[in-house]
Amino acid sequence: MFIDELVLYSYIFSLTILLIFSSHGFIMLYYHKKYKKNNPVQNKSDLCDKTITVQLPLYNEMYVAERVIDSVCKLDYPSELLEIQVLDDSTDETFDIVAKKVAQKKSEGFNIVHIHRNNRKGFKAGALKAGLEIASGEFIAIFDADFIPKKDFLKKTTRYFSNDEIGMIQTRWEHLNEDYSILTKVQALALDGHFVIEQSVRNKSGFFINFNGTGGIWRKECIIDAGNWNDDTITEDLDLSYRAQLRGWKFIYLRDFTTPAELPLEINALKAQQFRWTKGAIETAKKILPLVWKSHIPLRIKLQSTFHLTNNLVFPFILLAGILNVPLIFIKNAGPYDNFFNFMSIFVLAFVSSFLFYLFAQKDIHKDWRKKMTFFPIFMAGSMGLAVNNSRAVFEGLMNRKSEFVRTPKFHVTDENDLLSSNKYFNSTKVESSAFIELLLAVYCFIGVGASIYFGELAAIPFQLMFFFGFAAVSALSFKHSLLKDKKVRVK
């Protein structure tokens, strides 16, 4: 009896946490409607009299380095006011590729410099900081290696530096390879929720937003005033964003101007990216939240910032709920707990909130939103499947376990005709120990599916299936993508 009640109360506690964070989607949608017309102010004409430094942080990006350099050199901006820094920490063939490309662009008259460090001290934050020390620009635009900025990026974004309080302009990410596979389609759905709703709503409502690490432009004075780039978290972009806004700087988010980029098309690369984002957010929350609550900003901003910085705490509770789902089937059919299970029906609101959140995001930017929302169940299952990977990230962040900045491999694969033929970075991916745990959990959750069918618990079957398919898909892809070595393959 004691064990049964412990399982029940633990499950209810987990669902309560998930309900609190998921129901925040209702708040986002409320502000989305309330402030829909609260658009950022821009100058009426292009501001092409400001010096701008474009920084391209690279680390072993042999397949996309030339592409991002070429795209930046096509930016429509007076050449005498434009400086390009290739911040190259590479240890492989990328160095020679970049050196050759930079030399070519210099001969064509571009003000471009190749800055190579012999160590990765501070990782991306260290590279950006080193480049900033010698940057001549009043403004600093930053693009990761897999991004392809549009020609009018600088002209469009600098218009929004309408007063001296504006410190950063962030653009929405566009997905070059969204339709490549189910994996990329699901990622696009997830990211659109952040970029279409979260970033836009927070900005229009007067809350803090974050620089997304790329596809944005900073006022150099803002970076320096906020304390410059720090490397004590692995999400240096989120950290600097909050420090700057706590100093009084204003940010602007441009939902309707996009910067194209590649999505990870390989599950182990995605897991590495998710791990870095999750752990870094927890590290930043521990560092920044005390400053947020000690500051004199309004309470509504403090509360919203707390949700923003701590939302990754849901992953351990998703994992716990998945584990407890199975014994609950047996407990329900063996004990007098009908009132508990009747009460738990309220937690369906968490699913409803998430569905509406992503539905409105798709409707805002896609005409074929109905087709895209068919991937929502797969997205939900995938979120459950990544719970092991991301829970480990949460715990490492909470326990101050330091780790290096693991880059997300870029493959220069954007459509179905592109092959991963002897791709060095694809072949270097390894099976993480989490894949074995995910496989065991898939088998475990399959027992829950069978038990639900046996006992006729029809309402439980969809959630049992999502946990099963989530863990099964993530583990299967982890093994599959790690074993496809030196083959001409498409990752589907």
What are the residue numbers of the active site?
89, 237
Rounded Cα–Cα distance for residues 214 and 79 (Å): 22
Kindly give the residue spans of alpha helices, DSSP state H, lying in 151-295.
153-158, 182-192, 199-204, 220-225, 236-246, 267-294
- Residue 468 Cα distances to 341, 384, 446, 476, angstroms: 21, 9, 6, 12
153 and 68 in contact (C-beta within 8 Å)?
no
Kindly give the residue spans of alpha helices, DSSP state H, lying in 262-375.
267-294, 299-310, 314-332, 338-343, 348-365, 369-373
- Residue 408 Cα distances to 11, 272, 285, 384, angstroms: 34, 7, 23, 21
Rounded Cα–Cα distance for residues 166 and 140 (Å): 13
Strand partners, 140: 53, 218
Q: Which residues contact 397 (CB under 8 A, 6 or more apart)?
A: 278, 279, 280, 281, 282, 283, 286
Residues comprising the chain, all counted: 492
220 and 193 in contact (C-beta within 8 Å)?
no
Q: List % helix, strand, coil for the chain (3-state, nearest 5).
A: 60, 10, 30
Rounded Cα–Cα distance for residues 1 and 197 (Å): 45
- Residue 3 Cα distances to 82, 99, 323, 334, 335, angstroms: 67, 64, 14, 13, 12
Rounded Cα–Cα distance for residues 319 and 325 (Å): 10
CA atoms within 13 A on the CB side of 335: 17
Question: For residue 133, with 0-12 CB atoms within 10 Å meaning exposed, 13-18 middle and 19 or more buried, which class applies?
Answer: exposed
First to last CA, the chain: 47
Strands of 52-58's sheet, edge to edge?
112-116, 82-88, 52-58, 139-142, 216-219, 166-175, 250-261
Taking CA 404 as the corner, what is the angle to CA 400 and CA 406, rounded to the nearest 5 degrees? 125
Short-list 403, 91, 432, 61, CA closest to 234: 403
